[in-house]
Each structure stands twice: as structure tokens, then as C-alpha cells.
Structure 1
Amino acid sequence: MNFNFDTHVHSTFSVDAKDNLEDIVSSAIAKGLKHICFTEHIDHNPKDYGYQFYDFEKYSNEIERLKDKFSSEIQILKGIEFSEPHLYKSEFEKELNRDYDMIMASLHWLGDNFYGEKELLSKYSPEKILEKYFKDLTVIAELGNFDVLAHFDFPRRYYGQVSVDNHLIEDILKFLVRNNIVLEINTSGLRKGYNFTLPNFDIIDMYLNLGGKNVTLGSDAHSREEIGADFGKINQFQHFDKLEFGIFKDRQFQKLYL
């Protein structure tokens, strides 16, 4: 099955991205996409090199310009990826009052260390790192007020398929299902050389078994080349037909009939 949407994309309005909004939109159209949601990083950790980089006004103005220019070719949606909302609650509240189509929550830091830093391995085993990650992710899930939980098992992008107590994972998924927060299937793990998505297929199975079904699909692209990367591999998921893929418009989930 061909997917004609990507709901996790970064432009140069994120500090770590390569291409500007218009170049990414043009590439998405060339690849046959009909929907694209930009999810620019908002980072409030002073140690993050994206700290205070985000500019809502400039981002919004460019989104509106491109909507006018490409309205007949692609639906352009405005989102954000807000890191550690449980630690920056007042800043998160500010974003909740803005006119986004989709708000993603994510977790990138363990204390003073980014999850990909090798220094973490001098402090903890990979198993302990993942355990701490999921405990913090539980707090984020409990906080709620966002639409999508990004790259569910993010540290596995750096440490591989590390095992963890499934009860931790199930507790988070229960919060998502109970509060109508949607799970993202993020293909960046495949692009990083692993043979799994984030979350992996076992976690997606758990989500289905707990009553979840709505999902978004994102490449986590930071360049135009990465848009829609490895989406075809999602078809390998055994229970693919039970998932409801969709996008968010005005913070409402809209199923896409593929």
C-alpha cells in the first residue's frame, strides 16, 4: 500500500533540519503526497541547542503563504513537537492556546543528557536507560492535552532492541487509549539502520489489544530526501488491517481511507 501523507516533518524552523518549508513541500508533491504536517521542535531545555530557536510568528506566516501557493496540490498542516511538556508546563500551556492542527509530545532528555549521548552509558545500562525513559513517558501520558505521542520508544533509536518490563509500556498505552491520544508509527528507526519502527510492532500489537486503533505515520524527516522514507515497510505488520491511519486537522483526528 502506498501512503500519501507524512505527519512528522521538520524544516529549517527546527534547529536540526536541513531544508526550508517550500523545498520540502515541493519534494512532497513530487513524491505524490497529498497531506503533510510540519512538526517543528519546541525545546525549553537550556542544554538543548534548539533552546529558544522556535519562532511561532515566522513559522505561521510561512505556512499560510505556502497553503495559498500549493492549495490545489497538497494539504499543508501546522504542528509542533513539544519536548518534555511535564517539565515545562507553563510554556506548554502557551502553545495549547495557539492555532495548531496537531500537537505532538516527545521525550528527548534524561536529566542533563540527551538520550543519544554516549555519556549516558557511563551512568546506566541500556536497560536502565529505557526503564527511566518509560517512567518519564508515563508522566507525560498522564499530563495529556496533546494529540500524538511521538516515537514511543525513542532510546531504541540509539541502543537497539533493548528489553524492558512490559507493564511500564502497557500503563502508558492505557493512558493513551483512555485519553484519545494517538500513537505515532515513526519510521526513523528503519532509516537509522535498525529493523524496527518506533514503536516496534510488538508495542503496536499491545496498543491494538488495549483498544487503540488510531495511528499517525511519520518519517521524522529532517530533510526533503527523508520524506515518506520506509513507509512501505509498514505493510509487513501482521495486523496492519486493524489500524486506522489518519491526520489531524484543527486538532481533530481525521481517518484517511487508503
Structure 2
Amino acid sequence: MSSIRRLAAMLLALPLIAGCAMPAPTPANVNVNAEHAETQAPRILVFTQTLGFRHDSIPVAVDTLRTLADDAGFAVVHGEDPALFDDATLPGFRAVVFANTTGNLLDAAQRDAFERYVRNGGGFMGVHSASDTGHDWPWYGELVGAWFDSHPPGLQTSPVRFESRPAPEGSDGWHVTDELYNFRRNPRPHVDVLATVDERAYEGGAMGDDHPIAWCHARLGGRAWYTGLGHDIAVYADPVLRAHLLQGIRYTTGMRDHC
């Protein structure tokens, strides 16, 4: 073959070579892009560290909060590492949820960082034994509203009267079966009460005629919301409890003006 003919053949082959070097997008590329897009959603930290009793319901609580947060347009980061509580990391979360935490969590620097986060408008949501946390931390006691004191034996059933408006969908006449906490103080003078239980319906209540079980406030800078419900695995499947938790997510993240 002459040099001219060899050159012509090479020129004709170039488009084919270039085409092979530029493959079409694959499903793997699409998944990576979607995963990256998900990380751009505003985030909520669900914190579940325990230094005391550990609830079997924690995995279900995390899954429930993840589903509800996703429905509200938030991505959940679940963790138990107290190193998340610093001035660089916390501002990346719209709200922090203590879901069935127990014990005296966080060191002094981490507590200071969390206090600054809330003072600067960060949201806090506590679920069940979040009130059995930080008993040596007075500021946290004010944040959560009231500390756990005791509970009746086993799971018991009580009607729940919601004072918040609008109440969670389907909550009219709702009865809950769960571990019903007694608290060290009645939080009503310090918070906006969302729901109460009726001690006449079960044994072991220790707070009298006014027994708040859920409340909210914004006294410390950011929005704080707490529910004493959430001990039992089965309660997380209840649509009223799920609607109740969703209201907490929406309030603490600023989606809802009132709790």
C-alpha cells in the first residue's frame, strides 16, 4: 500500500476510534448523580447514643424518623459519635433529634457547641428517653423541658388529649399503649403543652390531674419539641404517633410556625 493510501485509511478510522473513547452514560453514572443530589437536601441529625438503658426500639425509631423526614424534604444523618457536636458540624443540620438517648452524654466542649447551636436558632427534638439524658446538665434540662423521674410498670394504655391545633390527623379519641413517663416537674409553666395523658386510665401515674406527655418551646433561641412517647417498637407503626412526630420535625426545622 502506498503512503498516500495508508494515510487515507488512518483518517477514515479516526471517527471510529474517537467514538469508542466516549461511552454513553451508564446506570452507574445516574446513581452517583442521584446520590450526590440527595446530599444537597437540608439535613437532620438523629442522635441515638446511650450510656444507660438502651431501647430495643431505637432502630425502628431511626427508620421512622428517616421516612418522615424524607416526606418533609429532609435527609437524615444517623449517628452515635459525640464528635458530631462541634461548631463546624452542627450548623450543617436544620435540627438535631435525640431519639431514645440515655445517660450523661457529651463532654464540656461538645455541650458548649450544642448550646451555641440552639442559641443561634438550631432546632432540637427529643423522643421518649431524651428526657432521661443529661441529668447533670442544667441547660439541657431546660431545653428538654422536664427530666424523666419514673414510669409505671410495663406498657399501659391511656387516652391522649391533644391541646395543639391542628392536632395530628386521626387523634380524636386516640388511645396509646406505651411506657408512660412521670417527670420531675410539670413542665406546663415553662413550655407550650401539646398533649396530656389521663392517669385515671392506668396505674402508676404520679403527676395528678395534669400530666403533660408532649410539649414545645423556643425559650433558648432555637425551637425545641419533646414527646414522652416512643418506648415500644409497635407504637411507631401507629399513624397518629407518626403524624405527631412529623409535626415535631416540621416545627423544629422551621417548616411549621407553631407546634
TM bucket (normalised to shorter chain) is 0.3 to 0.5
Q: Tell me which structure has the larger Cα radius of gyration.
A: 2
Structure with greater contact order relative to length (CA < 8 Å, sep ≥ 6)? 1
